[in-house]
Amino acid sequence: MVSIVPEPSDLVADKAVSQASAFCQGAFSILHRIDLSLNTMKHIQRFYLGLTVTFSLLWLWADSAWLGSSNYFIWRSAFTNWTGVLGMAVMSVGMILAVRPIRVEPRLGGLDKMYRLHKWLGITGLVLSVLHWALAKSPKYLIGWGWIERPGPRVRGPLPDGIAGLLMSQRKLAEVLGEYAFYALCVLLLLALIKHFPYKRFFKTHRWMAVVYLVLVVHTVVLMKFSFWSQGVGLLSAVLMVLGSAAAVVSLLRRVGIHRRAVGVIEALEHHPESGVLRVDVRLQDRWDGHAAGQFAFVTFDQAEGQHPFTISSAWHDDGHMTFLIKDGGDYTRTLPDKLKVGGPCTVEGPYGNFVFDSSTQRQIWVAGGIGITPFIARMQALAKPGYEQPVDLFWSVRDLEDEALRRVQAAASKARVRLHMIRDGQNEHVWFCGPAGFGAALREGFGRLGLGAERFHQELFQMR
Ligand SMILES: Cc1cc2nc3c(=O)[nH]c(=O)nc-3n(C[C@H](O)[C@H](O)[C@H](O)COP(=O)(O)OP(=O)(O)OC[C@H]3O[C@@H](n4cnc5c(N)ncnc54)[C@H](O)[C@@H]3O)c2cc1C
């Protein structure tokens, strides 16, 4: 007779198997998440690692005497140099990226990714500056606590001739400048990282980073170990600081993106109060070299308010017309239905971004959350060509929507032969997502469980910091 009551040993074994399976699923999910985020960020991560590792190796090449020493002051001097040169390198690259260099942007996967890299370079610069400052201050405390011996009085010979002597004569001034610049840097970077600090104020205060950066360049030029200048670490530092200083001046003169700006007028306005969306049709009066569907622009309706990024929600037909769909998501965008007038001026800077639907396979899945539909509308317009067929599924999640808006999206989808339906299988598609970060993370995970490879999930980061 076969017993249907499990033996206690079977129960223990079943429990162990189910626990092991839960553990494996959990571990797999964590690994999958790491894999997905690595792939989403692959360009900027490689760049970040390449920069920090190359610079550290170049420093090590130039400054390795500390390796065989047990003297605290020799170690302190070496690591003050390392945190100093690496800190300036990451801040210089961050400064260069802040002025939106056109050639670098596509290589880093678009402006949103480039600004993410800018943020991480800023955080790295902050950490290295704190270490640099702590190392500079450390002898006073370590001697006070009795952890190290006070060194004998330093015997300074006469200043050398030439540039070396000139730089040495300015050391005290450079140290004081560096210390105050460090305090300012800490305040400005912390304000940039505190999300509750209003974006508008962050934007204004962040511009002062350019001044702080220029002061730190002076500090570095005077205090960098003189022998470094004739080696790789010094030469690369010099190149980065020259480019970074030029970028700081461009930023202070408010000339960022000036060659990519076009003046235009508002041609038509259409407010959808239920969904809180304002459609703004613009006619450009200056030259615009075109854009790919899915790219965005920095739009200025009011000089006092400044630029806001919005996706260009129309395909380019070489006629100067473009459309923006703007959701009343914040303090400024809420005021736009009352403030904007037909015939009013606007400036459009761009195009930027790499959310342009290039994939190795034709088959694509698009996922939009709310106002995240904007790049897909532009793409559907671009696909609405006779005889052109691309197998695309569009899933759009939206809370409130007027019938008219829905009809328009359906009409655009139908003209582009894009199917609007639920997605059940993630085996052969590329997924394009634009919308809130939490929604993106949940989708990435869900699609991952269905077997969708990380390299096939493309996400626009709808946040600049
Ligand atoms: C690449 C990109 C494309 C976008 N496309 C669209 C679109 O097509 N339609 C749409 O409705 N929204 C879009 N947005 C979002 C839009 O830029 C913000 O909702 C808008 O700027 C909010 O401004 P606010 O002052 O009303 O809100 P606030 O409440 O002041 O800010 C809300 C958040 O918006 C962001 N933000 C505010 N001002 C700026 C700025 N000047 N530059 C960058 N980010 C800012 C900040 O993250 C801030 O925390 C896009 C954002 C990005 C980054």
Give the tens place of pLDDT for each residue, 189-240: 999 989 888 888 888 899 999 999 999 999 999 999 999 999 999 999 999 9
Question: Is the predicted pLDDT of residue 275 greater than 50, yes or no?
Answer: yes
As given in the structure block, the two tokens for residue 358 are 């290039």
- What's the pLDDT at 415? 92
With a 6 Å cutoff on the Cβ, whether 323 touches ligand 1 is: no
With a 6 Å cutoff on the Cβ, whether 376 touches ligand 1 is: no
Q: Across the beta sheet with 277-284, what order do the strands follow? A: 308-311, 296-300, 345-352, 261-272, 277-284, 321-327
Regarding beta strands 261-272 and 345-352, do their DSSP bridges make them parallel or antiparallel, or are they unpaired?
Answer: antiparallel
- pTM comes to 0.80
CB 266 within 8 A of CB 396: no
Least confident of 42-46, 226-230, 290-294, 312-316: 42-46
Q: What is the DSSP string of 88-123?
A: HHHHHHHHHHHT--TTHHHHTTSHHHHHHHHHHHHH
Regarding beta strands 430-434 and 364-369, do their DSSP bridges make them parallel or antiparallel, or are they unpaired?
Answer: parallel
CATH 3.40.50.80 fits 364-460, yes or no: yes
d(CA 236, ligand 1 centre) in Å: 36
Question: HSE (CB half, 13 Å, CA atoms) of 292?
Answer: 11
Residue 132: band (very low, low, confident or very high) from pLDDT cuts 50, 70, 90 = very high
- Domain ranges in the chain are 9-40, 43-149+160-252, 258-352, 364-460
What CATH class does 43-149+160-252 carry? mainly alpha
Write the CB contacts of 328 (distance below 8 Å, at least 6 apart in sequence): 276, 277, 278, 334, 336, 337
What span, in angstroms and rounded, lies between the C-alpha atoms of 314 and 281? 10
CATH level 3 topology of 258-352 = Elongation Factor Tu (Ef-tu); domain 3 (2.40.30)
In the DSSP assignment, the letter for residue 196 is T
pLDDT digits (tens, 9 = 90+) for 75-123: 999 999 999 999 999 999 999 999 999 899 988 989 999 999 999 999 9
As a whole number of Å, the CA-based R_g of the chain is 28
Which residue, by CA, sits nearest to atom 19 of ligand 1? 329
What span, in angstroms and rounded, lies between the C-alpha atoms of 335 and 344? 15
d(CA 308, ligand 1 centre) in Å: 6
Tokens 């970074």, residue located: 244
Pocket test residue of 310, 327, 460 for ligand 1, highest count of atoms within 8 A of CB:
310
Least confident of 170-179, 333-342, 412-421: 412-421
With a 6 Å cutoff on the Cβ, whether 326 touches ligand 1 is: yes
With a 6 Å cutoff on the Cβ, whether 311 touches ligand 1 is: yes
- What's the pLDDT at 31? 44
What span, in angstroms and rounded, lies between the C-alpha atoms of 92 and 104? 15
- What's the pLDDT at 8? 47
d(CA 329, ligand 1 centre) in Å: 8
